[in-house]
Amino acid sequence: MMKKTAISLACAAVAAVGISSTAMAGGWETDRAGGFSSVYTYTPDDVSPVGEGRSLMIVLHGCTQPINNYKTANLDKVAEEWGMVVAVPDAANKAGFSCWSYWQGTKSRSSGDYKNVINLAKEYIADPAKDIDPNQVYVAGLSSGGAFAMTVGCLAPDVFAGMGLDAAPSAGTSSSGAMGPKESTVSQTAQRCKSYAGSYASEFDTQITNTAYGTSDSTVNTGYGLQNASAMASIYGVDKLSGTNSIESKAKETLWDGPDGTNQVSMLELSGVSHAWPGGSGARGSYIDGSNINYGMYLAEYFANNNLRIDRIVDEYAPAISGLTVTPSEDKTSVSVEATVEAAADTTLTAVTVIIDGEEFESPLDGYVSIETGISGDDHKVEIIADSVDAEGNPHQTIKKKSFSTKEDTETGNGTGLDLGLGSLPGMGSLPGLGSLPGMGSLPGMGSGIGTGIGTGTGTSVSSSWCSMMPWMSWMCN
């Protein structure tokens, strides 16, 4: 039986601050902080619906991926809807191909970009203008950025209340392990993470983790998604729940148990996504996917609903709303909303109201919500309000919300450019047999030197499709 958190306080706070997913009051700014010379930061006007002040999510880019790509990944919508400061730093100590150097150097809170990421979080927490709740600080990343996020989350579980690991090799693996067969085991990954934490290991008790991977990712082994989730679950001491949840019919969610009705670990299997950060409809850019869910939005909701460090009053008599699924029709003119509503012990359901784009529907009190109605436009909101009373007549309420879009994907990005001049790559001209590979002369950007080796090539880009056609060159691709 799958379990999802139902926290009425969070929903009440959302209503109180009047968060709107369409009003973009903040804006992207370029900052220098934490030891990074360039950080794109979005600070919303509103605060988090839970805790005190705003939350903070630091997002780490993938290899060869410019950080400005995240400005078109719908993270502004995430920031505004969830009162979350989003910070995207450009790695200061890059490995080859602008990767975060998770496989190089000393893994320490006081070294390299590990120190910088931690310092970035601490500087922003100390900034009164950002009003960040130190109990709501998260780190996430794609690919090498995901592996680095996992490493820094293991090094500093006291700083980071949660991690979001997208297409991420496990912390402590090698660069070749990202591209080839999966390295390490669940137990080895867990032990490595705990060793990084050292004296801070007790902070894992209140840390949460999501992992995600695309089913069409041919760059990083998709097995790392389950390995990383299982390793963190082992550290946290929680068990995987049976079954899965469908999210917008595009992603499959697996959950692990947690204290006080939370899910301390979750994993997303993203249907049809290649090696990319999913930004939802309209998202675009190199290694940014626009065909699936908004991963940042999922993380913000998961973090807010399951954060174990904030003080919240959980109404044990409030109804539980679970399995909320929203399925638009193929022609996007109607939507089906389904969910399960359960009354708490010694209480009785009195009303279940479904609100779709402002229109109210009363649902039967049989515990099952199934509403279908017409819709128009691109951006939509669903809200379920469940009311109950206890034996003494006291009212209790739970509210669950979900946003979705039916906008046509006119431009999506799954990684179209590796911005490198192949002629500058050392030693490429000596690779045996390159001149004999059929059809190489027609590859765009490879230059005239391909017949004798790539050492004299003048090209400027290698497309992701070219990378997938040439597995022996996969180390060049994100």
User: Per-residue b/e over 377-408, b at no fewer than 16 CB within 10 Å?
Assistant: eeebbbbbbbbbebeeeeebbbbbbbbbbbee
Give residues with Cβ within 8 angstroms of 378, minimum separation 6.
281, 405, 406, 407
Which among 51, 58, 255, 256 has a CA at the least distance from the CA of 162?
58
Q: Is the CA virtual torsion 152, 215, 298, 246 positive or negative?
A: negative
SS3 (DSSP) at 200: helix
* Total residues found in the chain within this entry: 478
Question: Measured in whole angstroms, how far is the alpha carbon of residue 160 from the centre of its chain?
Answer: 14
Q: Which of 8, 98, 101, 143 is catalytic?
A: 143
Q: Give the angle subtended at the CA of 171 by the CAs of 65 and 154, to the nearest 5°.
A: 105
| 163 HSE (CA, 13 A, CB side) | 38
SS3 (DSSP) at 224: helix
Please indicate whether residue 143 is annotated as part of the active site: yes
Strand ranges (E), 319-424:
320-328, 334-342, 347-356, 359-363, 368-374, 379-390, 395-405
Q: Cβ distance 94 to 37 under 8 Å?
A: no
What is the C-alpha separation between 319 and 344, in angstroms, rounded?
6
How buried is 412 (Cβ within 10 angstroms: 0-12 exposed, 13-18 middle, 19+ buried)? middle
SS3 (DSSP) at 91: coil
Looking at the annotation, which residues are catalytic? Answer: 143
